[in-house]
Amino acid sequence: MEPDIDLENKQISNAYRGLLRSIQVELSNEDKRFIRKAFNTSVEAHKNARRKSGEPFIYHPIAVARICAEEIGLGKTSVACALLHDTVEDTHITLDDIHELFGVKVRKIIDGLTKISGVFDYTSSQQIENFRKMLLTLPDDVRVILIKLADRLHNMRTLDSMARDKQLKIASETSYLYAPLAHRLGLYAIKSELEDLSLKYTEPEVYEEIQRKLNKTKDVRARFIRKFSIPIKQELSDSGLKFTIKGRPKSVYSIWNKIHNKKVAFEEIYDVFAIRIIIDSELHMEKADCWRAYAIVTDHYRPNPERLRDWISHPKQNGYESLHTTVMSPTGKWVEVQIRTERMDEIAEKGLAAHWKYKKNIQAIGREPQQIGIDVWIDKIRELLENKDDNAIDFMDELKLSLYAKEIFVFTPTGELRTLPSRATALDFAFEIHSEVGAKCIGAKVNHKLVPLSYELKSGDQIEVITSEKQNPKEAWLSFVVTSKAKSKIKSVLDEERKRVVADGKEILERKLRNIKVAFDDANVQELLKLYKLTDHSDLYYQIAKGKVDFKKIKPIVIKGGRLKHGSITRTIKESFESLIDRVSGKKEELILGEGDGFDYKLSPCCNPIPGDEVFGFITIRDGIKVHRNTCPNAKQLLANYAYRIIKTRWKNQKILEFKSKIKITGIDDIGLVHKITNTISKDMNVNIKSLKFETEDGVFEGDILLLIHDTEHLSGLISELNLIEGIKRVERVEIMSE
């Protein structure tokens, strides 16, 4: 059916007018003309393009611009850039055209939003390099990141129209990279939605189940909030505070996280929702008003002293401020209560944009030291990006650490407050003070007591660093420092030292080859790499300098003309890896497990997939294709960073083979229970038991059973049968640890 062009044009005009209404900052006539020009340019550039859903492509940039305006609170430049963000990548428009039409500022932002093109080394990740390029703009213009997050949010909201393998790749990348970034920039609403949508596509059944349970308990929660709030509302009003109270259900993802990590059932999660008290307060009275509200809440309900979180005195590094307490309700349930002002609430929802909106006012009342956290983090990202020696995966590990790190607050000897990630050590603190202080650190005093460099700091510690000019960074330091600044500086010094050793090794090898009349060239060095089973030149030179290379092995491989020839190896690991990549990407092939189609593969021991599991194939550098479950602990990282090495995979219908699977059983101990369990498994369900282990403590038993089963249907049937045995409380499939 042909699209109705007139109707679509009308809908596009309506969407544009809706965008203008959503902009929260005052616009001059010149601003409106600027945005209109960006809109017209984008409409013209994308006029023949359509999305996977079939709708005109221009709907996407308009939607991204609206998220920037309405949900992040950005202004005219960001809205214009959001409208133009795909033009350079997808249309005939160039960066020079953007520069000519909209100026240098818009050009820089669009350049930051445009993916890197070209060929990547086979060990690198294009996704990570694009991410690194985008982050390079962070110290100069954070709007690039904010627009990219809006772009990703709209793509996630419209992911239904994509193929399943694309959904999985995009959703994994989102939860691995973009949700943590939204968290660090203080965009809690966007972070939660990105996480929820990622879960919806990576684990659809789990998502639907939690969503169903949340909807089922919605009315009960609403009644509970009303009843819980009555006495608090009355006293807050009597005290003269202006406020609103609302319930905030926990996100589906955070509930899943608790179920998954803490192994608790949905019904056992006491903080499925929080009650939020938002106070309309003058800036200079904010802290006092929040503590007044806290006193009123805890007068009526008993607080849990271990669950008090004061992020008003010490805001998080992303600018988040709030007072959290957990109190006991009359029904015997713990309830989280969040107390904050309207300004704090806006910063919590809109992050950086709101943070900067209020920054000048906060400086005016002398609270600037508490508000520079996000600027400090941006400085740390700059340091991370400046370390060019880090490979892509090291870079992502460091970035992930800095994105999601929980924080502790410590003090210098003069009482200056410093924020560090939890698990930071005395050595991390030394590097936080200054790179040179860290490099020369030999110990520290924490609360006036001498401690080793690896001492793990706690909030409230006061640290004095002890240095020596004779000290130099050691490789062992990398095993206990956690901050990217410390790791980066230690690696940098160690790399310089390694370069000196490598240069010495190279000189030794040149001399040795000259003595036996063998040419020192790349072809001969490649033969030596094969001989000594090493992967690169610097490794070889390093081992030589350290005296770990036996030169006697060289003479037997010398042939005519000063040449070296080791064996008859004609295919290197690299060649076989690259040919497999070419075969998969070139023909869009599919791996069908259980069918002899010429692909060699292994079932990955990290997640032990069995027929019926949703799976994907991952091309490894040395081991061919490894098959992982979509829910494998490593899946998110592989799908997010190495999409080009993923091969679509499915099972061939088969029931002849048996696969290892492990289940955990918990219940109330009773005579004959183990016999009933093994009888059900072996006789009733005809399943082979490979190993079993049972432990009993205080009348509760826990059993781990390793089975040989055909597929997920076979396993689900067994779990259902076991759940029917009296005394059994839970049966679940668990991961098999790698052997």
The pLDDT tens digits of the residues spanning 172-228 come to 888 888 888 888 777 888 999 999 999 999 999 989 988 998 888 888 888 888 888
Q: Which two tokens stand for residue 545?
A: 């300098």
Is the pLDDT confidence value at 29 over 60? Answer: yes
Among candidate residues 397, 379, 378, 404, the one with its CA nearest the CA of residue 487: 397
Among candidate residues 425, 457, 391, the one with its CA nearest the CA of residue 120: 391
Is the pLDDT confidence value at 586 over 70? Answer: no
In the chain, where the domains are located: 5-209, 211-371, 387-491, 492-564, 573-651, 659-734
Name the band, by pLDDT with cuts 50, 70 and 90, for residue 649. Answer: confident
Is the pLDDT confidence value at 114 over 50? Answer: yes
Helix-then-strand count for the chain, H and E: 29, 21
Lowest mean pLDDT among 347-361, 410-424, 559-573, 593-607: 559-573
The percentage of residues in the chain with a pLDDT greater than 70, rounded to a whole number, is 82
**What does the buried/exposed string (b/e) look like for 529-550 if buried means 16 or more CB atoms within 10 Å of the residue's CB?**
bebbebeebbebbbbbbeeebe
CA 365 to chain centre: 36
pLDDT value of residue 570: 38
Beta strands 334-341 and 273-279 are parallel
pLDDT value of residue 376: 63
The CA-based angle 472-475-481, given to 5 degrees, is: 90
pLDDT value of residue 739: 44
5-209 has CATH 1.10.3210.10 classification: yes
Among candidate residues 175, 258, 262, 255, the one with its CA nearest the CA of residue 217: 255
Beta strands 417-421 and 407-411 are antiparallel
Residue range 44-77, pLDDT digits in tens: 998 888 888 788 999 999 999 999 999 888 889 9
- Average pLDDT for the chain: 82
For residue 576, what is the enclosing H or E element? helix 573-587
The CA-based angle 540-546-552, given to 5 degrees, is: 65
Is the pLDDT confidence value at 139 over 60? Answer: no
CA distance 410 to 459: 6
pLDDT value of residue 371: 41
Lowest mean pLDDT among 6-20, 345-359, 641-655: 345-359
- 89 part of the active site: yes
Among candidate residues 28, 134, 20, 29, the one with its CA nearest the CA of residue 79: 20
Residue range 276-312, pLDDT digits in tens: 999 999 988 999 999 999 999 999 999 988 888 898 9
pLDDT value of residue 122: 43
Q: For residue 48, what are the contacts with CB-CB under 8 A and spacing of at least 6?
A: none
Measured between alpha carbons, how far is residue 586 from residues 127, 618, 647 in Å? 19, 16, 11
Cβ burial of 212 (10 Å; 0-12, 13-18, 19+) is exposed
Fold assignment, 211-371: Beta Polymerase; domain 2 (3.30.460)
| Contact by Cβ (8 Å): 280, 242 | yes
For residue 592, what is the enclosing H or E element? strand 591-593
CA distance 505 to 542: 6
- Beta-carbon count within 10 A of 510 CB: 12
Report CA torsion sign: 93, 96, 101, 104. positive
Name the band, by pLDDT with cuts 50, 70 and 90, for residue 363. Answer: low
Is the pLDDT confidence value at 434 over 60? Answer: yes
Is the pLDDT confidence value at 626 over 70? Answer: yes
CA distance 494 to 502: 12
Is the pLDDT confidence value at 409 over 90? Answer: no
CA distance 301 to 388: 54
Name the band, by pLDDT with cuts 50, 70 and 90, for residue 2. Answer: low
pLDDT value of residue 568: 45
pTM: 0.67
Is the pLDDT confidence value at 260 over 90? Answer: no
Cβ burial of 671 (10 Å; 0-12, 13-18, 19+) is exposed
CA distance 361 to 339: 21
pLDDT value of residue 359: 61
Measured between alpha carbons, how far is residue 194 from residues 113, 177, 333 in Å? 19, 10, 29
**What does the buried/exposed string (b/e) look like for 439-461 if buried means 16 or more CB atoms within 10 Å of the residue's CB?**
bbbebbebeeeebebebbbeeeb
Phi, psi (rounded to 5 degrees) for 240: 90, 10
Of residues 546 and 271, more confidence is placed in 546
pLDDT value of residue 201: 93
Among the options 2, 4, 8, 89, which is catalytic? Answer: 89
Sheet holding 591-593, edge to edge: 591-593, 646-651, 615-619, 625-629, 601-603
* Mean pLDDT, range 669-685, rounded to an integer: 79
* Mean pLDDT, range 333-362, rounded to an integer: 78
CATH of domain 387-491: 3.10.20.30
Hey, which bits of 342-447 come out as E strands?
A: 407-411, 417-421, 441-446
Of residues 680 and 293, more confidence is placed in 293
* Mean pLDDT, range 365-384, rounded to an integer: 55
Q: For residue 638, what are the contacts with CB-CB under 8 A and spacing of at least 6?
A: 172, 618, 628, 645, 646
659-734 has CATH 3.30.70.260 classification: yes
* Mean pLDDT, range 706-720, rounded to an integer: 83
Among the options 4, 44, 90, 280, which is catalytic? Answer: 90
**What does the buried/exposed string (b/e) look like for 600-633 if buried means 16 or more CB atoms within 10 Å of the residue's CB?**
ebebbebbbbbbbbbbbbbbbeeebbbbbbbbbe
Same fold, 387-491 and 659-734: no
Cβ burial of 561 (10 Å; 0-12, 13-18, 19+) is exposed
CA distance 392 to 349: 31
pLDDT value of residue 385: 60
Phi, psi (rounded to 5 degrees) for 451: -135, 155
Is the pLDDT confidence value at 123 over 60? Answer: no
Full 3-state SS string of 110-140 = HHHHCCCCCCCCCCCCHHHHHHHHHHCCCCC
Is the pLDDT confidence value at 584 over 50? Answer: yes
Residue 56 is classified by DSSP as: B
| Contact by Cβ (8 Å): 696, 668 | no
